[in-house]
Structure 1
């Protein structure tokens, strides 16, 4: 069977109970599921527990704010993913070797945190260790996700994805909220030592997990590791529409989620009711939805699952519209949160299976990291947009507007899979004979689009600053030129981070534009095969 025929083969139809059993029936799928616990722990520690710990220890809020920098490696891990595709470790294979190295780093970094004490006298050391943990965790995610792409059979993907998301959320809860509660009863050094010890069984699973079979050879040069993953995907039919779908599918849902906690505060719900709704009802419903969404791809097919769960996801915010217009009712809060979280989980489960299907095994580290980064862009962009929308139109209209914002994602879905189609097909795009582009032409094309992106981002930031001046009643004194210049010449840490983000985004768009141009001229046909 040819590689493309294998790619397009529909997964075996399994009943729901058989699909559920598939996740634990073999050591291959069980190892993929269990390793997700190792991926979720550092996220809970870095995003939830450590900022709480530092602030409770009396660390200056400005320094606590710098700890949010540790979130960056998860967003930009696609930058070093090609290195992990190109240079396999000399032990445990191309994926498990890197996962084991990252887990040793996580163990040592978390153990190092146990040495800074309950009230760190050297918070900069704690910040450095947190950044090191985040780098190791983001690298582990690259390796573990690529391993899942390489080792799972198609009929196992739906069941494994749902179980992975559930265990990932559980690990976040253990290393996040649970760690905070336990530290209050004993101490942070003991909690960190305990979390570090949990990486030992994860390392054992990595060592004992089976090595994927019949894998295509990896890239031979670093240039191929960076360039060919783009070309290989973009040479597929409807590739640009598929990437747009990856960004837009959950945009409306991400927009609503961005300010959910402030919304509940503004509605007057107590800390107890917010905690139950977010931590208990929301988390449970998300896990149940993710498992059901993954299994649904086996029962009704991936294409139909994306359509059905996509529609449910669009209308999942209706409960929040009711909350914004009715007096406080805890039961209504729990119902709205449960319904929205369940629909979100259903969409995430099916969408995660799609990411596995789209990724080529030869470049699984880089391509999956790229798709994950694009998927996360909607979540990153939605927060600032949501704030201005709520300020302008109020909570009820804001949630109402999020409903039609889910339609562009469904339109992009229709470009590569119809509602009646059980499985999407990723085919190599047939090209007319076009002259190949020279490296200089591709570089010029990428530089043009990258520069336009950089300029557009700077103008957007300046426009947001102008809107802020309007809201503060200071627009008469606002200087557009000086504000634009301040974006390019930062004077503080926040400004430099903002500029670095703009440049990184511009480089990514430039590379993408050059890759699209090269693929249209036939450069990626061999890579796609």
Structure 2
């Protein structure tokens, strides 16, 4: 786990612990908002926004389908994470050097996408999209490692909250706003060049961000960078239980959200415009507020109590969808349910990312965080996605949403059983 400060005393060298909302103005925390924005900016530009451009350019549906493969790098990034642990550019430190390098390569590559027309040069544009996704995934590896290394114990949840906020804002800018700019003002090529410029501007936050208080030595060899993160992790007491907790903690939330849009339209009877407006506005704002509140509250609650409290709220908030399933459709009730569910999900996400940070050893934080974050997607990808339609077909929407609360309970039970181990993480120096 990251060797930065003791949780019980709240002291790292000299200085008092940061409390409540003040933590967001901290020298190590504040830059993560812009760095999170830079992390989230490329995703839509290589997925939804690119698909929209190709659609407008009358590209065939089959070719548009193949464009979705551009994002494969995000799911495979753990394969080259050891390279980020082992090697570093000769500037700005072990983590920031990688972040800065990938940001400038991304700025140039995203702008270059604007030079090609998907109608006549789709192959080149697709290759550029794959390259941008690779660079973006590499930036994520380095950024996650940097935030894990630089944050003190009582700043992890706040740092996670700002990362989430920056990432979500970037998705709005590179998604919905980008489409409006391309359609109404700039055109597609100029819009991509503008997004490249935003990435270049975001790199200034990398120059401003400080180095970790304690620099961990990199692995001595590439072999060590590949093998030692696994050896170190599985050498810990309760390693397998920790991995199971990572899979289970947000599983109920994943089931509830897997077909939430389909439920709101087909199951609850709202129209597409209403769902889009509420999800985009209330959902986004509530997630950001939840993540920020979670970061502030965790400085007082500690890791275990925050995980338990926020996990319970995540589970109970799913009952709001049950309420929508058994009552007539009403826009205000949907807005409240979506806002509460996203608020609680944001709280849980802040605590969960703080847990992942606490589990990473500074020497191998790039590889370990990449592996743990990939593992956290297992439940959402391989359980919630395939099984949700089966459960809905068998039991109907009202019973399904009650079941999602039950699905959340094993993770909370495992968390309670591991409370001593989690508290040790929170108190580790």
Same fold (TM over 0.5): yes
8 Å Cα contact 1:75-1:376 kept in structure 2:
no
- How far the C-alpha of 1:105 sits from its partner, in A, is 2.1
- 1:176 counterpart residue number: 175
SS class of match (1:180): helix
C-alpha distance in structure 1 between counterparts of 2:381 and 2:121, whole Å:
31
- How far the C-alpha of 1:331 sits from its partner, in A, is 1.1
Task: Indicate how the Cα distance of structure 1 residues 426 and 153 shifts in structure 2: closer, same or farther if over 3 A, else same.
Answer: closer
- 1:45 counterpart residue number: 45
Alignment of 1:374-389 (within 5 A): 374-381=375-382, 382-389=384-391
- 1:320 counterpart residue number: 321
- 1:282 counterpart residue number: 283
Alpha-carbon displacement from aligned partner over 1:441-491 (angstroms, at most 9, x marks no partner): xxxxxxxxxxxxxxxxxxxxxxxxxxxxxxxxxxxxxxxxxxxxxxxxxxx
Q: Residue 72 in 1 paired to residue 72 in 2?
A: yes
- How far the C-alpha of 1:270 sits from its partner, in A, is 1.5
SS class of match (2:173): helix
8 Å Cα contact 1:35-1:144 kept in structure 2:
yes
- How far the C-alpha of 1:302 sits from its partner, in A, is 1.2
- How far the C-alpha of 1:88 sits from its partner, in A, is 1.5
C-alpha distance in structure 1 between counterparts of 2:148 and 2:425, whole Å:
16
C-alpha distance in structure 1 between counterparts of 2:218 and 2:188, whole Å:
43
Bigger drift between 243-252 and 11-20 goes to 11-20
Of the two structures, which has the highest relative contact order with CA contacts closer than 8 Å and spacing of 6 or more?
Answer: 2
- How far the C-alpha of 1:106 sits from its partner, in A, is 1.1
Task: Indicate how the Cα distance of structure 1 residues 326 and 231 shifts in structure 2: closer, same or farther if over 3 A, else same.
Answer: same
**Among 376, 395, 400, which residue is 2:397 paired with?**
395
C-alpha distance in structure 1 between counterparts of 2:292 and 2:274, whole Å:
26
C-alpha distance in structure 1 between counterparts of 2:340 and 2:213, whole Å:
41
8 Å Cα contact 1:82-1:222 kept in structure 2:
yes
Task: Indicate how the Cα distance of structure 1 residues 4 and 96 shifts in structure 2: closer, same or farther if over 3 A, else same.
Answer: closer
C-alpha distance in structure 2 between counterparts of 1:208 and 1:293, whole Å:
25
In the alignment, structure 1 segments of 5+ residues that lack a partner are: 428-527
In the alignment, structure 2 segments of 5+ residues that lack a partner are: none
- 2:307 counterpart residue number: 306
- How far the C-alpha of 1:403 sits from its partner, in A, is 1.1
C-alpha distance in structure 1 between counterparts of 2:35 and 2:165, whole Å:
12
C-alpha distance in structure 1 between counterparts of 2:7 and 2:330, whole Å:
49
C-alpha distance in structure 2 between counterparts of 1:356 and 1:10, whole Å:
18
Q: Residue 258 in 1 paired to residue 258 in 2?
A: yes
- 2:374 counterpart residue number: 373
8 Å Cα contact 2:282-2:335 kept in structure 1:
yes
Aligned length: 422
C-alpha distance in structure 2 between counterparts of 1:320 and 1:300, whole Å:
28
C-alpha distance in structure 1 between counterparts of 2:74 and 2:16, whole Å:
35
- How far the C-alpha of 1:5 sits from its partner, in A, is 8.7
C-alpha distance in structure 1 between counterparts of 2:286 and 2:184, whole Å:
29
- How far the C-alpha of 1:17 sits from its partner, in A, is 9.1
Q: Which has the larger radius of gyration?
A: 1
Alpha-carbon displacement from aligned partner over 1:303-332 (angstroms, at most 9, x marks no partner): 101001111111111111121222211111
CA RMSD of aligned residues (A): 2.4
